[in-house]
Structures are given as structure tokens and as C-alpha cells.
Structure 1
Amino acid sequence: MYTITNIYVLAAFGTIGGALFGFDVSSMSAWIGVDTYKDYFNSPNSDLQGGITASMSAGSFAGSIAAGWLSDILGRRYALQIASLIWIVGAMVQCSAQNVTHLVAGRVVSGLAVGITSSQVCVYLSELAPAKIRGRVVGIQQWAIEWGILIMYLIAYGCVVGVSGPAAFRICWGVQAVPGLILFIALFFFPESPRWLASKERWEEALDTLATIHANGDRHDPVVQVEFEEVQEAVRVAHESHDVSFLALFGPRVWKRTMCGMSVQMWQQLLGGNVAMYYVVYIFEMAGMTGNTTLWSSAIQYVIFLVTTGVMLPFIDRVGRRNLLLIGSVTCMVVHFIIAGVMASHGRPVPDVNGNANLTWEIKGSAGMAVIAFSYIFTGIYGLTWAPTGWIYASEVFPLKYRAKGVGISAATNWIFNFALAYFVAPAFHNIQWKTYIIFGVFCCVMTIHVFLMYPETKGRSLEEIDLVFDTDVKPWQTHKIGDIFGEEIERRKEEGPKKDVAGTDHQEVV
């Protein structure tokens, strides 16, 4: 069977898994202010709407927990195929929803699929990609999420203005099955992760995959040889350790990495991205927008999100993970406090906003336009920094034996906070209005300190070389002092010339 070997093509198709998340985000955010949706589901109040929105995150949490075991047993590729089928079922259940309970069930099923794809696409791509471009390859996952958000939002907009009655949201939610089907079919043409193959002692297949992806099939290329030897050593260490449980992720040699992986996903949520993504319509309604103007203004925000992440991807491996995370948290903190100040000083409490009793704060005129402008700025900063980097960093910090379960529990952390915030934000806008932004601003302040003190730099290093970064006593803000061991070894091999085949049993013993 034909196998896709170009890493960018693999990333483009593989990250359809990210697009599934994006589809589900805007498949709800586009409808919460539309009369067709509100009338059919009996105008859910802020608490119920928060629960409906958050139900997908609850399913994603469960899916992320299960993803590590599934991926370790069946392989990265088959785990993603199973997720694709689950996604298709979830889309069908949502499409046929007759009441809130039915809709929530569909979103939970879809969430199970998103939980698997959101964690294991990152694992899969990080294990395939060359070290020097791993950031941009894994970052395409976040870009795909944003494409999914925008595409589904525009589909929803078309259904709102062009289709009457419940058929509008049924068509919108049913269309979600299409990318799941595309991903399921495409995965038949994907190679398995070479690191997973090595973990199962399928050495020849592992070497062939590395050679095909990194050197056009040349098994003697220095990059392939050095990377394969590092994989061999990682597998040897993994085989000497006990079976991995979630408790083992907090053992003496791994807990720092687990804390980095889990906390970067937690902070990505507490930065406030949910305010911009799930409830953007609410923000613009409070600022005085109505009807189609609100929907188009929301679409502009999604375009900004998409463009800024796309602009950053080619440079993300030069700038570094720490720099992006620190710049993002500080800038977003300032933006949150500015929005809170403008809303507090120029807004006023009201019983409802344009008949929407979930909103009790109004800010109009130039102050309202300022809130919208800073919402756009926040989205741009988020798209440039934390949106892609959070997923990249979590996929890099775990050693081979712990990677699938480690990234799974990191993604589960993302989803449990996603659930909490998706549920929290709607009642927060109703009860504490502008103070919601103060809370997110404080979170940004705390995460800045945490990132500076605890997150070592990982850009440009092989996944096995990152093990050394965490095992040394060098402070996180001084990790640039650790030399590029992987690159230096490659240069040495180039000077020495081609070596014998590193996989065949006639050439070299394989551990």
C-alpha cells in the first residue's frame, strides 16, 4: 500500500484531529445567541448553557485519560482511527438531538474523540518530525484547531441566514462527521511512529520509517543513524523500568516533566482563551452589537486567531518555547486588566442585554469598541504564543516510555480546566461581569512566574536529548548553556563518512 512520507503532508492530514476540536468549539459558540437554537432548547439559562458547552470538555477529559493506554497498545495510528469513528458517531447524535440531554450526550461522545486526537496527534507528530522543525510541525495541530473553528463558524453562519427552523443547526452539526471520515481514510496511508515501532522491538520498520521521512530512504544518513541510536538507547532505558502507570508519572525522575506537561496545559486554559473562543458572542453583545453584526465580528476574531498562529509557525523553532510563553502571559495579563478597567469605568449593570438575561452588564459607544478592539488584540497574542506552544511543549517533555500516557494526562488537564472554564464563564458574565477579566489577569501573573522558574527550553533538541535537559541541575533559565549534543554528533558522523547499517543484525547488535 502507498505510504505518505512527506512530514508536512502527514501533519496536514494528521492534524485534522485538531480540526475536530475546532469544529466542536464553534459549532456551539455560533448558536448560543441565535433564536432558532434558543427556542428549540427552551432558552437555556447561563448555568445550563455553561453545562451544554462544557459537556464536550468532560468527554475530552475521559478520552485523554484513555488515550495513553490505547496508543501504547495499538499504536498511534490505530488509536487515531478509532477516535475518528467515535467522532462520526458523536456528530450523528448531535445532529439528531431532540432535547438538551440528547445534545449533551452527543457532545460527550464527540469529546471522547477529541480527547484522544488532541493528545495523540501531538505525540504522533512529535515522534515523526525532525528536531529542528518539530515545533512548527506539532504547532500545525493548533493551526488546524483554528481552521476548524473558522470553517465550522462560517458553516453555522450560512445555516443561520440560509436555513430556517431546526434544520439549520442539524445540518451544521451533521457536517462535522465529514472531517472525521477524511481522517479515518487518510490514516490507512500513514506510517506508524518509528518510536512506537522501536518500543515493540520492530527495529527494521522503525529504521525504515526514520530513513524515509528524514533522508529520502537513506538508512546511512548521519541524521538517521544518530537519531536511531538515540531511540535504541531510549528503548533500552524504557525496558529496564517497570510498566508505566499514571502514578509512575509522578516518580522521582519524571515528576518535573509531568508537572511541566500538565501545568502548561492548565495555564493555556487559565490564560483566558475560552472567553475569546466559546463566549465571543456574549462579549460583543455586551459591547452593543446585535444580529448578523455580532456573528461577523466574531468571525473576524477567528480569522485573527488563524492568521497569527499561521504567521508564527515558520518562526516558532527559532524564538523558543520559553520566550513565547513568557511574552504571551505578560501581554495577555495587561490586556485582561485593560478590558476590566474599561468595562468597570464605562459600563453599567442592566437586567438583560437585548433580551438575553444571561448578560447583566452593558458597555456601549467608544468604550464598547475599545473592549472589542482589545478582545481582538488578546486573540492575536494568544494565537502567536500560548495557543500553539502549549501543545508543542507538552508533547516534548516526556521520555519515550512515558510519552503517550504523559501527554494523555497533560491533555486531560487541559480538558478538565476547559470544562471548568466553559462552565464558569457564562455564569461569571452574569454574576460578576467585568471582574471575570481580573481573575484571568491574576492567572496570567502567576503563570509568568511559574514558567520562568520551572520551564527549561526545549527548542531544536531531539526528544532523547530533552531527557538530558531535565536530568541536569542547570536552572531552567540557563538551559541554553547546554550544548547541541545531537547536532554535534551529526557533524562528527558527517566528517567520519557513512557507517554500516545500524539496524541489521549482521552489522550491529540491537539492544
Structure 2
Amino acid sequence: MVATVGGMLFGFDISSMSAIVITEPYKRYFNNPHGVEQGAIGSALAAGSVVGSLMAGPISDKWGRRDSIMFACVWWLVGTSVQVATNGSGSLIAGRVLNGVCVGITSSQVPVYLAEIARKETRGRIIIIQQLAIEWGILFMYFIGYGCSKIKPDTDISFRVAWGTQYIPCVLLMIGLPFLPRSPRWLAKVGRDAEAIQTLADIQSGGDKTDPVVVAEWEEISTVLAAEREAQRGWRKFFYNGMWKRTMAGMSVQAWQQMSGANVIVYYIGYVFSMADLSGDINLTASGIQYALFIVFTSIMFFFIDKTGRRELLMYGAIGMAICHFVVGGLIGSYGVSVPEGVDGDLNVVVKVTGSPAHGVIAFSYLLIIVYALTLAPVAWIYAAEVWSLGTRATGMSLAAVANWLFNFALGMFTPPGFRNITYKLFIIFGVLCICAAVQAFFTYPETCGKTIEEIEELFRPGGPLPWKTKKGGSRLDAEIERVAQGGKPQIASQTIDEKGENSDHAEKV
């Protein structure tokens, strides 16, 4: 829970805008920003996050997962200070870019850290806490912004106080981080084997280094690591033989999470509900309900994520979201009335539906978020953290996060002008993209649920199983644990496959 406060920072920054952009103090102080200007403000976080994601891999490999998160917090403190002291759109964008650097690092390295310390049986649930933290951050900050909008509404104090509360989760994270263990896999990677074994024992068996689980898993980690040390160096290792499949899977699943269009609803739900004839406090309250639904349904998945698998959730979730997009777009396109001067004077909203079609827009916007919360929202982060090898995980997850944030930035820039210029067609585009996401998930994403992160490497090797023929579970580690418990030696080493897809001879070296 401490580590996932890094995700809460992401959530805080998302709704630090969504609850405020439709308030009068914001529109008055920043001269009613719309179109490209509002797009630049909204997407500034993502622009900084691209930079942070690119920095994250090398920093995490050198300093460790835990310390890279601490480094990210410094950027957050500076960025929040700039936002609180803003004197116009330029400084607001600058502050959000600095906050984005922090979010880029934490969004890529917190899942890496969680994946490397979690047991295979609970890895999905552990990583899903990251998504829940994002959603709680969104909810907290949204209603903080909502409440602060009532403070002297004729001044700019309302949004400054709201943005100032972003210090709180960051300070709590910085206090808690020194008490967390380092990743045993990172410790092994940098040659600190004794610490790695002890940390693994603390995680798996209450500190007992002779426990069969610890012995078998350490054998697997060290064998795979020995093989990777003799594999390709530099950026080539991300594309050599089977690695290109993992690179494509990790980056594309993050890109599809953005291109599904759900985060457009999260960022700009106030605009969508303005199209559906909601205004003032009713709009703000209805938007807040969406964030509560987000939390409730992701919480449900906490209990089932390690039982349902990853492939099905990615495929069927994308199809469900496509249906919601098509319905919302169809209702606005069929029943929308043009309002060139902007609904309630907001130049980002130039179409409005009323009556039953408006109710349908609201209902399917809620349903879209529910489907997203059950599927792509948590699973994309889990899957992207699982598919990399030990030697590529930190930088690989950074690449995945770069894909996420590049599309986040593009969509953040595109959406306000899109609402203004193509209105309902924006939802049709996202619906088509969701169908494309489902197709790729079927053909290129093997099932990773219930397997150790070392075993997942074999799913992507040349000649490996076809993705649609893979099943959840079936980990060989269980058999190895039983063999060790009966006094035998683990056989994992002899089964390890190196990056060339050939039988590894590193067992003897280990």
C-alpha cells in the first residue's frame, strides 16, 4: 500500500483538473481556455510523464526500484509548488510537466517493484492495488477540488488550495518508502545475493531461507539471471528473437489502454455530462459518482484477478467498451443540437442532447467506466509488468509507460478540439480502436496468470505456444517446491530457455 501511493499521485494530478476546469474561478482566471490551449494544459502531465518514463529504466537499474520512486517524489514537490504559485497558463503547464516527470517514473516502476516482490499466486492482486490507488487519488482530489470551488468563488484561492493538497500523498510516500524491502530480483541483478535471498525468505516464508519455496524460487531467479547476462546487450536485447514479442506486448497493451478512450472520459467527464444537459453542482456530483464506480468495480476485481486470467479480460473488456462508445456516439449524433456559442458559455462543448437520449449518454458513460474498471484499467498495468525478462524489466516497463504516456499526451491534446470540431464522431473513433485492441489481444497476448515471471519468458520464445492456446496456471514451480520438500534438487535450471530459444547450459555455472 505504501508503494502504490505513487499511483495515488497520478490520480491526484488527473482530477486536479477534471473537477476544476468547469468552475467559474478557473475559467475567469485563465480566460476561459478552450481548444488547443485547454488541450495543452490537460496533456502537460502526459508530456512530462513521457520524459519521466524514459528516465525511469536506467535510474531504476542503477539505484533500485525503491530509490527511483523516492527520486520521483522530488519532482512532484517542485511541480506542485509551481502549480500553486501559477500566474497563468504557461506556469500551470510547466508545473504539470514537472509533476508528470514524477508520474512517469512511478507509473512505470511501482508495477515493476510490486511484480518483483509478489508471490505468483497474488501478483495480480498486489499490482491491482496500484490501480486502486490511482482511482482513490482521482476520487479524493476530485471532491477536494469540488469542495474548494466553494471557497471564495470570486477569487483564485479555490484552485490554489486544491492543488496545494497534492503535497500530502507525496510526503506520506517519502516517509514510508525507507521502511520497504528492496526487490530481491534487483538485488540479485546487482550481485547482492545474500540480501536477495534474505528478502525472498522474508516475503515467502517468514525469514526461513531453507524453506522449499525459497530454495526453488531462488534457483529459478539465479538461473534465468545467469542466462540473461550472456544474452544481447543494449537496446538490441528488446528486439532480438523472442524479445520483440514481449516488447510489442508490453508497449501495445499500454497504448490500447489509452486508445480505448476511457481516460478521455476520466479527464473530461464534465464536458461529456455538459453535452448531456447537466450543469453546475449536478454536473460535478454526477462526475464524482463515476469515480466512485471506478473504485467499486476495480475493488471487485481485486478478489478475482488471479482467477480469471488476463487474455479474456483484455479481449472482452475492449469489446464491451466499444459497444459503449458506439451507443454514446450514436445518441449524440442522432439527437444532438448544435450550440456554436458553447453550452453554458463553455467553448469546449458545442453540442447538447436532452431528455431520454441525454439519460442514455450518462448511463453508457457510467457503463463504459465500469467495464474499464473491471478489465483494461487494472489488467494493462499487470500484463505490462509481467511480460519482461529480469534483465529488461525496469527499462522495458519504462518503454511500456512511454507508449501509455505518448498516447495519453496525444489524446489529451486531441480531445478538447475533437469535442469542438467532430463532436460525436470522437466516440465512434474510440469504438473502432477498441475493436482493434480486442483483435490484437487474441492473436498476440499469451496468458500469464498463475505463472512465475521467469516462466512467462518461455511463452514468448521462438517456437513457443500460440497465444490463443495458452491457459492460466500450470506453473512448474509448484512441482519444484514439492521436489525440494522431499529432499531433491530443483530441476528448473535444466529447463530454462535462454534468449536464443535453445536449451541453456547455465545450470552448472549456477
Shift of 1:89: 1.1
Equivalent position of 2:22 in the other structure: 33
Question: Which one-letter code corresponds to 1:18 in the other structure?
Answer: G
| Native 8 Å contact 1:275 1:425 kept in 2 | yes
1:68 aligns with 2:60: no
1:415 aligns with 2:382: no
Structure 2 distance, partners of 1:163, 1:235, is 59
Equivalent position of 2:339 in the other structure: 350
Q: Within 5 Å, which residues of 2 pair with 1:394-409?
A: 394-409=384-399
Equivalent position of 1:207 in the other structure: 197
1:346-390 deviation line (CA, Å, top 9, x unaligned): 112121211112211111111101100100000000000000000
Shift of 1:238: 2.1
Equivalent position of 1:464 in the other structure: 454
| Native 8 Å contact 2:451 2:472 kept in 1 | no
Structure 1 distance, partners of 2:487, 2:237, is 41
- Of 211-220 and 160-169, deviating more is 160-169
1:382 aligns with 2:387: no
Equivalent position of 2:318 in the other structure: 329
1:22 aligns with 2:6: no
1:252 aligns with 2:244: no
Shift of 1:43: 1.1
1:296 aligns with 2:285: yes
- Of 401-410 and 180-189, deviating more is 180-189
Describe the SS at the equivalent of 1:196: helix
| Native 8 Å contact 2:386 2:453 kept in 1 | yes
Q: Within 5 Å, which residues of 2 pair with 1:139-158?
A: 139-158=128-147
| Native 8 Å contact 2:8 2:137 kept in 1 | yes
Describe the SS at the equivalent of 1:218: coil
Equivalent position of 1:177 in the other structure: 167
| Native 8 Å contact 1:220 1:498 kept in 2 | no
Unaligned runs of 5+ in 2: 491-506
| Native 8 Å contact 2:451 2:473 kept in 1 | no
1:20-40 deviation line (CA, Å, top 9, x unaligned): 000000001111111100111
Structure 1 distance, partners of 2:351, 2:427, is 13
| Native 8 Å contact 1:244 1:402 kept in 2 | no
Equivalent position of 1:219 in the other structure: 209
Describe the SS at the equivalent of 1:353: coil
Q: Which of 104, 107, 127 does residue 118 from structure 1 map onto?
A: 107
Shift of 1:509: 9.0
Equivalent position of 1:475 in the other structure: 466
Question: Which one-letter code corresponds to 1:468 in the other structure?
Answer: E
Shift of 1:495: 3.2
- Shift in alpha-carbon separation, 1:254–1:497, aligned structure 2, 3 A: closer
Structure 1 distance, partners of 2:23, 2:240, is 50
| Native 8 Å contact 2:184 2:196 kept in 1 | yes
Describe the SS at the equivalent of 2:423: coil
Q: Which of 240, 250, 259 does residue 230 from structure 2 map onto?
A: 240
- Of 383-392 and 469-478, deviating more is 469-478
1:104 aligns with 2:81: no
| Native 8 Å contact 2:447 2:472 kept in 1 | no
Q: Which of 36, 43, 59 does residue 48 from structure 2 map onto?
A: 59
Question: Which one-letter code corresponds to 2:123 in the other structure?
Answer: R
Equivalent position of 2:500 in the other structure: none
Q: Which of 441, 445, 463 does residue 455 from structure 1 map onto?
A: 445
Structure 2 distance, partners of 1:488, 1:456, is 22
Structure 2 distance, partners of 1:289, 1:387, is 26
Q: How many residues end up aligned between the 2 structures?
A: 492
Equivalent position of 2:179 in the other structure: 189
TM-align CA RMSD: 1.7
Structure 2 distance, partners of 1:243, 1:96, is 45
1:311-353 deviation line (CA, Å, top 9, x unaligned): 1111101000001101101111111111111111111212121
Shift of 1:482: 8.5
Q: Which of 261, 277, 281 does residue 272 from structure 1 map onto?
A: 261
Describe the SS at the equivalent of 1:14: coil
Structure 2 distance, partners of 1:456, 1:244, is 26
Shift of 1:481: 8.6
- Of 448-457 and 478-487, deviating more is 478-487
% identical aligned pairs: 47
| Native 8 Å contact 1:143 1:309 kept in 2 | yes
Unaligned runs of 5+ in 1: 1-11, 500-507
- Of 19-28 and 358-367, deviating more is 358-367
1:119-146 deviation line (CA, Å, top 9, x unaligned): 0000000000000110110111111100
Equivalent position of 2:504 in the other structure: none
| Native 8 Å contact 2:313 2:376 kept in 1 | yes
Q: Within 5 Å, which residues of 2 pair with 1:2-21?
A: 12-21=1-10
Question: Which one-letter code corresponds to 2:208 in the other structure?
Answer: D
Structure 1 distance, partners of 2:278, 2:355, is 10
Shift of 1:251: 2.2
- Shift in alpha-carbon separation, 1:212–1:36, aligned structure 2, 3 A: same
Structure 2 distance, partners of 1:483, 1:276, is 38
1:200-237 deviation line (CA, Å, top 9, x unaligned): 11111000000001110011111111111111012101
